[in-house]
Amino acid sequence: MECRKFEITIISAENLEDVRLIGKMEVHARVSIGGSPEREKRTPTDTHGKRNPAWNYTMEYTIMASVLDNYNSMLVVKLYCSRNLGDRYVGEVHVSMKRLFDDVAGGGRSGREVTIPVTRGSV
């Protein structure tokens, strides 16, 4: 099977819901492809941005080319607020890997910035 290199940079989030009753928001992102926890990668925790964290953190994956033929193969970014008593879920983003690659290929570019709203799902 053919493999492809996939590189993603998680830049920032804006106006997140404040999930802390006491203290400030310190948010990190957990990124996976297809919801596979064993391939999950994590950004550093932003300790300054509070409800508007910024990471500008790049991650690399090797994916099977077949992932790009299916709208059901999803890139999942889950946001968590770091706490001493365990991380608190903030929200998440789901986007089709096929859609991401089609958008880049259609523009003739090797990279592109995409803005996707964070939704509050369930963990």
pTM above 0.85, yes or no: yes
Task: Please name which of 94, 86, 85, 78 lies closest in space to residue 28, comparing C-alpha atoms.
Answer: 78
**C-alpha angle 55-18-33 in degrees, rounded to nearest 5:** 45
DSSP assignment string, 7-67: EEEEEE--S-----SSS---EEEEEEETT-GGG-EEPPPBSS-TTS-EEEEEEEEEEEGGG
Distance of CA 38 to CAs 30, 32, 60, 85, 89, Å?
12, 9, 14, 23, 19
Domains of the chain: 3-106 (2.60.40.150)
What are 38-87's pLDDT values in tens digits? 889 999 999 999 999 999 999 999 988 888 888 889 999 999 999 888 89
- Asked whether the beta carbons of 56 and 11 are under 8 A apart, the reply is yes
Q: Which residues pair with 38 in a beta bridge?
A: none
Task: Please name which of 59, 67, 76, 77 lies closest in space to residue 98, comparing C-alpha atoms.
Answer: 67
**Cα-based torsion angle of the residue sequence 19, 25, 28, 34 in order, rounded to the nearest 10 degrees:** 10
Of all residues in the chain, what percent carry a pLDDT higher than 70?
91
Provide mean pLDDT across the span 15-30. Answer: 92
